[in-house]
Amino acid sequence: MRTALITGINGQDGSYLTELLLKKGYNVHGILKRNSVAENQTARLDDVYHIIKDNLYYADMTDMASLVRVLQEVEPDEIYNLAAQSHVRISFDQPIYTTQAVAVGTMNLLEAIRLICPQVKMYQASSSEMFGNSMDDDGYQRETTPMNPTSPYGCAKVFGYNLIRNYRNSYGLFLSNGILFNHESPRRGTNFVTNKVVKEAVKIKYGLTDKLMLGNLNATRDWGHAKDYVKAMYLILQQDSSNDFVCATGISHSVKELCEYTFTSLGLEYQDYVGVDEKYYRPEELDNLKGDPSKLRSIGFEYTYTFETMLDEMINYWIDFYSKK
């Protein structure tokens, strides 16, 4: 039985990855960051908590000693580094913490791996935010596209991405980057635009609110489903050698299209309810993201969700939630 360690196990991606790896027969362990609201720590893991409850560890990416302790105890075959302060807009408000958690945290984990378990395979959750407004002539971002981040979060992710490549080349470690484009689900935090739009639209449908304020409606993103992307993470670590892969759908939609599809699905006109508030704009806007998944597809990856079926699932989740209120 192979053993996997997931940092950020209680997040959207961590919870779906846990379920996937358990189905594949893994012994799954996870790192949590302690907070004062214990009942919210593992909510996304409710379906599998009874299986992994004794395999959860409190540690912090900024505390290398705590990471060393966990690696010594777990002795993993695979590590999936998903822990981060991942909200881009918040990274402008908390740039130092974001850098410590995302950039320095990755260095701490790599040093712990180098010293404790250099034979392990590690997946690093890199981000499309690293590209910023840089794109190839055809409008796509690829593994070879120059990186020009437009946020503290994107800058921190570039540092982590390059550390992975540096430690791979310097020490011969199995370290792979998955450059994740936007990926959503009902488990996505409601401070992220997709689940914010869907949740508030359903609340409007049920008469619980009457307005939704957003930022840049013309920004376009390449949105996939988190369930698909955790399959990509797993697949990347099953390769014979480590490498870097763009994880994207190759199709982009605007925030306006997101609103239009969601509200239309609920029998509403988004123009009647959606407004723009400048406070939701970033200090430096990122206009367009669209990834080329050709390299990922070349190792056998296939998608199961479309933009529309992803949103349908999220809409149905919130309809079910509010219909029981």
pLDDT tens for 56-67 read 999 999 999 999
Beta strands in 62-206 (DSSP E): 78-81, 121-127, 174-180, 183-184
On whether both 69 and 160 belong to a single domain, the answer is yes
Instruction: Return the structure tokens found at 324.
Output: 């029981």
On whether both 122 and 63 belong to a single domain, the answer is yes
On whether both 39 and 81 belong to a single domain, the answer is yes
Instruction: Return the structure tokens found at 229.
Output: 């992307």
- Kindly report which listed range (41-50, 171-180, 278-287) carries the lowest average pLDDT score: 278-287
Asked whether the predicted pLDDT for residue 270 surpasses 90, the reply is yes
| Distance of alpha carbon 64 from alpha carbon 202, whole angstroms | 43
Instruction: Return the structure tokens found at 145.
Output: 């596209």
Q: Summarize the confidence of residues 198-215 as an average pLDDT.
A: 96
Q: Catalytic: which of 80, 153, 167, 305? A: 153
On whether both 31 and 175 belong to a single domain, the answer is yes
pLDDT tens for 227-266 read 999 999 999 999 999 999 999 999 999 999 999 999 999 9
Residue span of the structural domain in which 14 resides: 3-184+222-247
Q: What is the mean pLDDT of the chain?
A: 94
- Residue 287, pLDDT score: 84
On whether both 258 and 241 belong to a single domain, the answer is no
Q: Catalytic: which of 129, 261, 270, 273? A: 129
On whether both 215 and 229 belong to a single domain, the answer is no
Q: Band of the pLDDT at 42, cuts 50, 70, 90?
A: confident
The CATH code of the domain that includes 209 is: 3.90.25.10
The burial of 276, by beta-carbon neighbours within 10 Å (0-12 exposed, 13-18 middle, 19 or more buried), is given as: exposed
pLDDT tens for 102-123 read 999 999 999 999 999 999 999 9
On whether both 95 and 28 belong to a single domain, the answer is yes
On whether both 83 and 138 belong to a single domain, the answer is yes
Residue of higher predicted confidence among 208 and 279: 208
Q: What is the pTM of this model?
A: 0.95
Q: Residue 297: inside a domain, yes or no? A: no
**CA-closest candidate to residue 246, choices 265, 224, 267:** 224
On whether both 234 and 314 belong to a single domain, the answer is no
Q: Residue 260: inside a domain, yes or no? A: yes
Q: Residue 311: inside a domain, yes or no? A: yes
How many structural domains is the chain composed of?
A: 2
pLDDT tens for 68-100 read 999 999 999 999 999 988 788 889 999 999 999
Q: Residue 292: inside a domain, yes or no? A: no
Annotated catalytic residue 129: yes
The CATH code of the domain that includes 66 is: 3.40.50.720
On whether both 146 and 212 belong to a single domain, the answer is no
On whether both 31 and 179 belong to a single domain, the answer is yes
**CA-closest candidate to residue 245, choices 255, 254, 257, 233:** 233
| Distance of alpha carbon 19 from alpha carbon 35, whole angstroms | 23
Q: Residue 295: inside a domain, yes or no? A: no
On whether both 119 and 41 belong to a single domain, the answer is yes
Asked whether the predicted pLDDT for residue 37 surpasses 70, the reply is no
Q: Catalytic: which of 127, 151, 176, 252? A: 127
